[in-house]
Amino acid sequence: MNIAMIAHDQKKDELVRFAMAYEHVLQNHKLYATGTTGTRIAEATQLEVHRFQSGPLGGDQQIGAMIAENKMDMVLFFRDPLTAQPHEPDIMALIRLCDVYSIPLATNTGGAEIFIHGLERGDLNWRSLVHGKEEHAID
């Protein structure tokens, strides 16, 4: 499965710890992340992460494009609800696309843990079945 990992500045450490804790699950999937978040996850783990631009520079939109093309299967977006984000319209567009295309979206550790355990059990295999293909990663 293709999994996007995004975190606001105040949540990056939390997402990195999450990736470390669930490295054994995430290693079996294709990971995509926005700039700094992807770098930090790759440095803290043995995970291979395709990195897009940082969120404010278009990374959220790059992930959104994958969602719109139905090439993303899950989004883990650790948002900071207490800090204003200058690229809030891009964030809302990404969330909207997840809703439009029925892409599972977790915005905090609690939701992400439920998703990761479901991923481990195979609960999200419907993503491959619906599209009739095993993998649909980008190069």
Residues tagged active-site: 60
Contact (Cβ atoms closer than 8 angstroms) between residue 73 and residue 129:
no
How is the beta sheet containing 2-7 ordered, strand by strand? 49-51, 30-33, 2-7, 74-78, 105-106
Number of residues in the chain: 139
Q: Which residues pair with 3 in a beta bridge?
A: 31, 74
Would you give the distance in Å from CA 106 to the centre of its chain? 8
Under DSSP, is residue 113 helix (H, G, I), strand (E, B) or coil? helix
